[in-house]
Amino acid sequence: MTCNTRHEDVMTVDVHTAKDLLGSGHHYLDVRSVEEFNKSHIDNALNVPYMFITEEGRVKNPDFLTQVAAISEKEDHSVVGCNSGGRSFRACVDLLNAGYKHVTNMGGGYSAWVDSGLAGDKPAEELKTACKFRP
C-alpha cells in the first residue's frame, strides 16, 4: 500500500536533536553520494545514495528503496541526512510513502553537523563537500 505523504508530514529536527536521537538508538541513514560519504561521515552511518551525478545531470537512485530495505526494517527508527537537508528531505518522503514509520530528517544535513562542532576537531573544509544538489 502506498501512502501519499506530503512534505509537511516529514519531521525535521536540528543537528543537536538528531545527535540525541542517535544516542538513544536511532540509526543514521546518510543519503549523500559514496564520494561525499567517504570524505567524512557520522559514526556508524549507513550510506545509501538518494541521487547520482551523471553526464545527464542529477538522477534519482532507482534502487534507493530496495537498498534501504536490505539494511533497515520499516519499524526501525532512523535519522536521515545528506549534505544540506534537501536530498534527505525527499528521501524521507519516499521512505514514509514506502511504509517506513519512524523517519526523521536532519535539517541542515552534514554541513550543519560539522558547523555545530559535532564532527570533531578537523577543519570544516576537510570534512564538508560543496553541495552539488542545490538548484
Rounded distance, CA 65 to CA 119, Å? Answer: 28
Rounded distance, CA 75 to CA 69, Å? Answer: 11
| Active site positions, annotated | 82
Please name which of 16, 15, 42 lies closest in space to residue 128, comparing C-alpha atoms: 42
On the CB side of 131, how many CA atoms lie within 13 Å of its CA? 16
Looking at the chain, the number of H-run helices and the number of E-run strands are 6, 7
Please name which of 21, 23, 20, 132 lies closest in space to residue 87, comparing C-alpha atoms: 132
